A and B are shown apart, each in its own frame.
Chain A
Amino acid sequence: MLEIKNLHAGIDGKEILKGLTLTIGEGEVHAIMGPNGSGKSTLANVLAGRPKYEVTSGTVTYEGKDLLTMPTEERSREGVFLAMQYPVEIPGVNNIYFLKAAYNAIRKHRGEEELDAVEFLQLVRQKMKVVELDESFLNRGVNEGFSGGEKKRNEIFQMAVLDPKLAILDETDSGLDIDALRIVAAGVNALRSEKHSVLVITHYQRLLRYLVPDVVHVLASGQIVKSGGKELAEELEQKGYEWLEPEAAVAR
């Protein structure tokens, strides 16, 4: 479903991803771990089509299509979702209004009929339970005055409603307490199915206790330097990233 080949990309003329290759199959959950500055967030942003990030070479094929030539909103409508590391506030715009606009834009793209307010509210209520959010939350401004944990839960809530085929979580676990972490993991686990793929980007292993990945990759200096099963995450937690440095050096 997602095939990244020899991807070179960066920001402000500085190359950060240096030939990254990664394949994610349908229904798989992959985790990418790595030290700060290794290119984890760059990968997430390049896949989602954030302006300012430049791809210099390589290909990304998503469901047989060239992802890199798709405009940002089209990637979303095709089912790519990015749970952001730093979700922005949009003051004065209702959460539910925002989410309905997003949901219906995606449905329209698929040639489906838009949901009306009542139908949409039913869907939303159902999904709210998963992330344990209160209904009053729907009428607050998008992320306006939210705590860090609420913002992250909102990302997972949006993900649950929009039901993406490929969900990318960019350090969603950072700064979360154990309860929030459990809720985030529950949201992702609820999405898990043969049809949904997930790419979890994280600095720590702790999220992966609740959310067991099929494959774990280590990203260092813009390349995947090691891949393995879930036990690799535990190994990293114990040993840190330094023991991989020689491999990173080879990769360089």
Chain B
Amino acid sequence: MSNTIEQIANQDYKYGFVTDIESDVAPPGLNEDIVRLISTKKEEPEWLLEWRLKSLRHWLTMKEPTWANVKYGPIDYQAIRYYSAPVRKKQLSSLDEVDPELRRTFEKLGISLEEQKRLSGVAVDAVFDSVSVATTFRVELAKLGIIFCSFSEAVKSHPELVRKYLGSVVPYTDNFFATLNSAVFSDGSFCYIPKGVRCPMELSTYFRINSAGTGQFERTLIVADEGASVSYLEGCTAPMRDENQLHAAVVELVALDDASIKYSTVQNWYPGDKEGKGGIYNFVTKRGKAMRNAKLSWTQVETGSAITWKYPSCILQGDNSVGEFYSVAMTNHYQQADTGTKMIHIGKNTRSTIVSKGISAGHGQQTYRGQVLIMKGAEQARNYSQCDSLLLGDKCGAHTFPYIEVRNSTAKMEHEASTSKIGEDQLFYCQQRGISAEDAVSMIVNGFCREVFRELPMEFAVEAQKLLGVSLEGSVG
């Protein structure tokens, strides 16, 4: 491969945040006392403490899974601190104090000035204060009966809902990382859309304030009651640095009869340096349950983290329910990603679609792992899977592990897979038309991801395209 591709692949991570952490933290280690401490600090009810303790006891009997196609050194779980007070960013007085490199990235991503200030911890004036904007929106949502708040808040204000649905999709015994999360989860988001209500706005941007500082063990629960619908956006294209190396989040979606939930993620956590040192380990469990005629749709753009281990899944329990998974994952330098989905068809006439696009550059390793399971009662189930990999350079890798299990002979299954390389031919073609190598790579990669990007909410799609451009930016030109 040409130097050009190498140079593009070798560009630096464009910075994270300078944070100043206040020191209300628990000692390292994990035991019942720590779990009690977390629960007490958060003023939780007894049942939740019991649930956490059950999780911890179960976790202690579990072994860390090793089946994923990723390599990392042993994690010392007793060396991690499981509680710290919400992180507060150091307040700066103006954007001039923000790292110019970071500002340049913000500008490239097209993030508004006010949003830039918020993201980089600059004090914002009252009119534009995102907290107040968020409050305004919340009042509007409340009129419709929509509950949208932090997880801790929901535990206090709507304990019956939390208690009913917590662990109903991802049980506390589910897997090593989900169980760990169940024991020590810090905070996250809770969302409930009542019967027949369409949430009138994307739950996103300004609400991000809600989840700020929720740390490494996030817990999200979204419930769409019968006939309700919601589109939820998680994450942010702006680069995120974090002090915690291990992240183990859990997201549960519940779509009752005729409901629909669309969940979009852009993940850009610190991926580590060029030599593969540092970077976030992102071990996430995301799963949704769809009842009769319900629809679940996962869309993800994953460009960050040193290691990604993530399989947003759908349990298609009700008849005629629909599951979708659209994914773009990019690994550069020494990043590793083992990601994909599970589609569990239980109900009749259930349908699922999987479109996965993996991009590897540098020494990046990319694995698609997907399971499609058609249960015995799933008459006339249908699945379409498409997994495409794009390689930049010759030191990276792409792997595909599709697991397909069909227990009902009326099922219709389609699976397509491809692996391609950004060839010198494509680059030359663009350059011969006057387009720089850098722009050409960005264009080719974005073209490759198009089927996924068009599933993203408009504004997110634009951001995601720019993000890939910035992530691939190199020193040529």
Contacts and interface: CB of A to CB of B under 8 A. Distances in A.
Interface of A: 48-52, 71-73, 75-77, 81-82, 84, 86-88, 90-93, 97-99, 101-103, 105-106, 109, 141-142, 158, 162
A158 B433 contact: yes
B433 A102 contact: yes
B447 A90 contact: yes
B210 to A, nearest CB: 35
A62 to B, nearest CB: 15
Given A73-B437, A82-B432, A105-B436, 17 more contacts: A50-B428, A51-B2, A72-B432, A73-B431, A73-B436, A76-B431, A76-B433, A76-B434, A87-B429, A88-B429, A90-B430, A90-B444, A90-B447, A91-B447, A98-B443, A102-B434, A162-B434
A72 to B, nearest CB: 4
B469 to A, nearest CB: 12
Contacts of A101: 435, 439, 443
Contact of B423 (A77, A88, A97): A88
A92 B446 contact: yes
B133 to A, nearest CB: 32
A48 B448 CA distance: 26
Interface of B: 2, 423-426, 428-437, 439, 443-444, 446-451
B390 to A, nearest CB: 10
Nearest to A75: B432
A200 B446 CA distance: 34
Contacts of A48: 428, 432
A93 B432 CA distance: 16
Contacts of A91: 447-448
A71 B3 CA distance: 14
Nearest to A52: B424
Contacts, number: 81
A151 to B, nearest CB: 11
Nearest to B426: A88
Nearest to A143: B429
B interface SS class: helix
- Point out which of B429, B434, B436 has the most chain A C-beta atoms below 10 A from its C-beta: B434
Contact of A77 (B430, B434, B449, B450): B434
Contacts of A158: 433
B173 to A, nearest CB: 42
Contacts of B429: 84, 87-88, 90
A91 B429 CA distance: 13
A77 B2 CA distance: 21
Contacts of A84: 429, 432
B425 A88 contact: yes
Nearest to A78: B434
A103 B437 CA distance: 15
A93 B423 contact: no
Contacts of B450: 92-93
B419 to A, nearest CB: 13
A48 B430 CA distance: 12
Contact of A93 (B425, B431, B434, B447): B447
Contacts of A82: 432
7 contacts: A72-B431, A73-B432, A88-B426, A101-B435, A102-B430, A103-B434, A162-B434
Nearest to A86: B425
A218 B425 CA distance: 28
Contacts of A90: 426, 429-430, 443-444, 447
Contacts of B437: 73
A134 to B, nearest CB: 21
Contacts of B448: 91-92
A154 to B, nearest CB: 11
A138 to B, nearest CB: 15
Contacts of A109: 434
Nearest to B388: A91
A180 B435 CA distance: 28
